[in-house]
Amino acid sequence: MDIRLSGVTKIFEPDIVALEDVYLSVDSGEFLYLVGMTGSGKTTLLRLISREYAPTRGQISVGDRNLRKLRQSELPYYRREVGVVFQDFKLLQNLTVFENVAFVLEAMGIPPKLVEGRANEVIDQVGLWRRRFLKPPQLSGGEQQRVAIARAMVNSPSVFLADEPTGNLDMRTSEEIMRLLLSINAAGTTVIVATHDQHLVDSYRQRLVELHNGRTKRDERRGRYFVDGEL
């Protein structure tokens, strides 16, 4: 699905301007890096798309949905089409890795047999097969991050938003995850990755949007990572 933001501003009470007059157009099946210094508004942008936040001004549409007009009863169904890797993971602490991933499918009413097959497949893809019966507090930071990635992709959403998906991963594992994201993208899913990972951005060149103080500063076809007046 395509994503269009036009004139989006997000102001937090009383006067924190997290995003200001952002225009962004992401076509269906595109892959996009979102970079920018800490506090530049990357997470806010993703949260607006997943409709965790509502914009103060401006319009957002995803596919043929105008998010302003989305009714509350439709929200869960919309969110199932948008897979999100949260920056702070937001895993359910009382469930095992398997249960965390399976939950998304279960909540969609998919029968247990199918759930099990698909959940195990994804857990294997992120390399957590041997950890699948542990709970988040028993996992390393990188392992938790990969659970979050598995959960976001398990129901094959049309839009995939990853907020700092490699922040707790070493270079090698980051690359594996990156290849996974690219394969998801290759299957037609729109992918937006907010990241600070220079190595990744520069190794796998893709469209790159840089935010600076809540405004778009760069939008390049195959951009390189350097932020705010470097070079």
Ligand X SMILES: Nc1ncnc2c1ncn2[C@@H]1O[C@H](COP(=O)(O)OP(=O)(O)OP(=O)(O)O)[C@@H](O)[C@H]1O
Query: Among residue numbers 74 through 113, which ones bind ligand X (CB under 6 A)?
Result: 87
Interaction of residue 168 with its own copies, rule CB under 8 A: yes
Single out the residue of 118, 164, 180, 181 in contact with its own copies (rule: CB under 8 A).
164
Joined together, the tokens standing for residue 23 give 């225009």
Residue 109: which of ligand X, another protein, its own copies, none does it interact with, CB under 5 to 8 A by kind? another protein
Residue at 161: amino acid letter = L
- What's the Cα-to-Cα distance from 191 to each of 63, 93, 97, 114, 182, rounded to whole Å? 14, 27, 23, 25, 8
For residues 184 to 213, the per-residue mask of contacts with ligand X, x marking binding by CB under 6 A and - elsewhere, is ------------------------------
Q: Which CB sits closer to another protein, 155 or 216?
A: 155
* Residue 49 parent element (H or E): helix 42-49
Q: Annotate 103-161 with three-state secondary structure.
A: HHHHHCCCCHHHHHHHHHHHHHHCCCHHHCCCCHHHCCHHHHHHHHHHHHHCCCCCEEE
Please list, residue by residue across 175-212, b when 16 or more beta carbons sit within 10 angstroms of its beta carbon and e when fewer do: bbbbebbeebbeeebbbbbbbbbeebbeebebbbbbbb
Interaction of residue 84 with another protein, rule CB under 8 A: yes
Interaction of residue 146 with another protein, rule CB under 8 A: no
Residue 51: which of Mg ion, ligand X, its own copies, none does it interact with, CB under 5 to 8 A by kind? none
Interaction of residue 52 with its own copies, rule CB under 8 A: no
Residue 16: which of ligand X, Mg ion, another protein, none does it interact with, CB under 5 to 8 A by kind? ligand X
Q: Helix, strand or coil for residue 34?
A: strand
Interaction of residue 43 with Mg ion, rule CB under 5 A: yes
Tell me the window of 37-45, 74-82, 111-119, 197-205 that interacts with Mg ion (CB under 5 A): 37-45
Q: Site residues (CB under 8 A) for its own copies?
A: 12, 35-39, 42-43, 87-88, 138, 140-143, 146, 163-164, 167-174, 196, 198-199, 225, 227-228, 230
